[in-house]
Amino acid sequence: DSGVTQTPKHLITATGQRVTLRCSPRSGDLSVYWYQQSLDQGLQFLIQYYNGEERAKGNILERFSAQQFPDLHSELNLSSLELGDSALYFCASSPTPDRGGGLAGSGGYNEQFFGPGTRLTVL
């Protein structure tokens, strides 16, 4: 158990709908990352939040948005859903991103802990 929780585990919805995926990071982790895993695109970084502020953006569609709340949990909002949005959505957390180093083999401060994922199916 990584300590990162995601809800719901599964979500089935129709095209055109809007859904919200929720993530609670590990206790004390300030950074939250969202990733999308699909058969054709593989694992792709979507967006990162650090202590409530957006820190980095990846291949996130304009129909998607995210936020991180004061209690550090994060939500990923997907709207106007299309069939191609069907994927496994992961949330990951890590401690402050501003610390480098870490012992070889330990992950140190650079490891991202992944939640179990939310499997989204758009019909």
Return the residue of 56, 63, 83, 123 that touches another protein, per CB under 8 A: 56
Q: Where are the alpha helices (DSSP H) in the chain?
A: none
Considering the rule CB under 8 A, would residue 102 count as an interface residue with another protein? Answer: yes
Distance CA 119, CA 123 (A): 13
Considering the rule CB under 8 A, would residue 89 count as an interface residue with another protein? Answer: no
Closest CA to 27 of 117, 113, 102, 116: 113
Check if the beta carbon of residue 76 is closer than 8 Å to that of residue 9: no
Nearer to another protein, 45 or 79 (CB): 45
Binding stretches for another protein (CB under 8 A): 2, 31, 33, 35, 42-45, 48, 55-56, 58, 88, 90, 92, 94, 97-98, 100-108, 110-117, 119
